Amino acid sequence: KFRIPTAENLVPIRLDIEIEGQRFKDAFTWNPSDPDSEVVVFAKRTVKDLKLPPAFITQIAQSIQTQLMEFRSHEGHEMHSGEKLVPIKLDLRVNRTVIRDQFLWDLNNFESDPEEFARTFCKDLEIGDPEVCPAIAIAIREQLYEMAIQNVASARETRIGKKGRRTAEFFSASKVGGTALDLLKLFGSKASVVRKRKEWDLYEPIVDILSAEEAEALDAREERNAR
């Protein structure tokens, strides 16, 4: 049945709300089994802590509820199963830190832990900004969430194919990035991460630290693009 292939079945939530010239952006995970009343409590507390206009309460609560409803619409549906190593790509900027990396993730490992992987990643690469680790975990969870939704669609197409209409084609691990025998596992079973030997140099993690001026210029560009 549908669920995100991690130890904790958490929903990645992303907010980007602008009211009266003030913009609020955030990303975090939410436990879908928590009562819906917690959404409004969270929205009120966030607005109070950040001293945002009261109008943000409704918008934050509605955005979270909409994303939770989307997640719950897939619950109970069957997922396509089988050997499944999928590529995860990191390309994000957090404050002045730029992260780029690529690796394979085992969708069949339901004990994997994106947060633990992110903590190990930041420790090994000596990343000091405390906001980077959660951003990496969220980026991984968002990609795994999309893949879980695709697996629901694949399972549906398989059932249709068995009825004689059409059969879906599934990509095996060899098509995605090589068999497990070609891969070196890193960070332990909870991370569920693998890298191909021949791609160590090509896809090694890249961490850049921007100057204050470069970060301000990027912020200004992103602000213009958003508008």
For residues 80 and 163, the answer to whether their CB atoms sit within 8 Å is no
Whole-number pLDDT of residue 210? 84
Residue 41 lies in a domain: yes
Residue 61 lies in a domain: yes
- 133: helix, strand or coil: helix
Helix or strand holding residue 56 (H, E): helix 55-72
Both tokens assigned to 17: 């709300």
Residue 60 lies in a domain: yes
**pTM above 0.95?**
no
Give dist(CA 101, CA 110) in Å, integer. Answer: 22
Whole-number pLDDT of residue 32? 94
Whole-number pLDDT of residue 179? 33
Helix or strand holding residue 149 (H, E): helix 132-162
State how many domains the chain has: 1
Q: Per DSSP, what are the bridge partners of residue 92?
A: 99
Whole-number pLDDT of residue 186? 39
Residue 184 lies in a domain: no
Residue 178 lies in a domain: no
Residue 70 lies in a domain: yes
Give dist(CA 64, CA 28) in Å, integer. Answer: 10
Residue 170 lies in a domain: no
Residue 67 lies in a domain: yes
Whole-number pLDDT of residue 155? 80
State the residue range of the domain holding 58: 11-75
Whole-number pLDDT of residue 79? 84
194: nearest Cα among 208, 176, 206: 176
C-alpha distances (whole Å) from 215 to each of 37, 159, 168, 187, 218 are 38, 50, 45, 31, 5
pLDDT tens digits in sequence order for the chain, 227 residues long: 898 999 999 999 999 999 988 999 999 999 999 999 999 999 999 999 999 999 999 999 999 999 999 999 999 999 876 668 889 999 999 999 999 999 999 988 889 999 999 999 999 999 999 999 999 999 999 999 999 998 888 887 776 765 555 444 443 333 333 333 333 333 344 555 665 555 555 567 888 888 888 888 888 887 778 76
